[in-house]
Structure 1
Amino acid sequence: MYRFEYISGALENSFRLSKEEEPAILYRQGIKQHVCEILEGGEEAFEKREKKYGFRTT
């Protein structure tokens, strides 16, 4: 498993995490959580869209 934390900018400027540090954000959340936070405006906005368009995610 890769252990790094990407902040922004060039990937070469990322830093490695030690074994004692908490896992990188990329491994703490699933895809739905990332989409909710980054693209959809948060969990509440995502849930409103689910109701509006009549679909459910698992």
Structure 2
Amino acid sequence: MEQWWYNHKTGEVEEGPHSLAVDRDGPFETRAQAEHAPQIIAERARKWAEEESSD
């Protein structure tokens, strides 16, 4: 199964984990998801913050 990663240091998408773990986010199931990693991660963080503030 393919896995895609977003390298937040270079802004590039990688098929498989090629860069250092501290420089990448993932894995994602599709290239399209990895390309939108910054938006996906920001949305997840927003949801987690809302959940924590409602506790």
Give yes or no for TM over 0.5. no
* Larger strand share, 1 or 2: 2
Bigger relative contact order (CA 8 A; separation at least 6): 2
TM bucket, shorter chain: under 0.3
Give the alignment's TM-score, normalised by structure 2: 0.28
